[in-house]
Structure 1
Amino acid sequence: MDNWITYLLITTGTFVFMEGVAWFTHKFVMHGLLWVLHKDHHQKKPHFFEKNDFFFLIFAAPSILLFFFGARAGFNWMFYTGLGILLYGIAYFIIHDVVIHQRFKWFSRSNNRYIKTIKRAHKMHHKHLDRHHGESFGMLFAARRYWQQSQKKQV
């Protein structure tokens, strides 16, 4: 198998795997031990920046390290794993901060079923203002029931 195919699979696999990492971290770390940083994201406030934004640095650190060590080792698997994490981070930022929370007013409305589905799932996550009884902890993949709900609303 050619190297570019291997590296494409590593990057893509890492991207998909990161949704599971994000779900696990969101459910058990952000709504657990580090709720103190995530809490302000679930409450209305007039500030542009949130303590929750520190999670960007937490998630960026492994990517940066993998880029660094992977580049030093001749652009091996570590580099492309870091690339998968970076691409997931970019997708997460666009979906979460731009499309859903509209912290940046780049996209305001969409009739796209996928966008409606993830917005619905995230809205259900944010209906819980405390750390307990949450739902829908993922970001890019929504549970079937949210897809079904978005289908019913279009009919």
Structure 2
Amino acid sequence: MQSKAATVEAYVAELPEERREAITAIRKVLLKHLPKGFEEVMAYGMIGYVVPHALYPAGYHCNPKAPLPFMNIASQKNFIALHHLGIYGSKDLLDWFTAEYPKHCKTKLDMGKGCIRFKKMNDIPYDLIGELAAKITPQRWIEIYEENLMKR
């Protein structure tokens, strides 16, 4: 379910109340904890956090005109999704997150390669999301991204 919203504010405004509260809370945590240099944008119909062209002129290899994606949050049909490409690109970060998750949540971790799904709005681990957001600087994300790109 991709939104056609042109701004983050418009995206949030179109959500049902329960989802609006959860997305707003996640967004607040991300904006507080993401290291300096990431920018908030609308990307792929979701709220995105990217490395801007000013820091990484090469952009995203799939579309060099787009900035390098890092994280996205989205309200999907049955859950809120937190897409974190750092978890996908760094086994150490993935291992840390999967070990920490049970310390913060009663529910079982529902996760794909880089997508964490939250089905219960009252069981979102905001503190853990903040810790996760703070773990990678834009410079470190560029290094991880390029290391993984060269493996292809």
Task: Please indicate, yes or no, whether the TM-score normalized by the shorter chain is above 0.5.
Answer: no
Higher relative contact order (CA 8 A, sep 6+): 1
TM-score range, shorter chain: under 0.3
Normalized against structure 1, the TM-score is what?
0.27
Greater strand content: 2
Q: Which has the larger radius of gyration?
A: 1
Greater helix content: 1
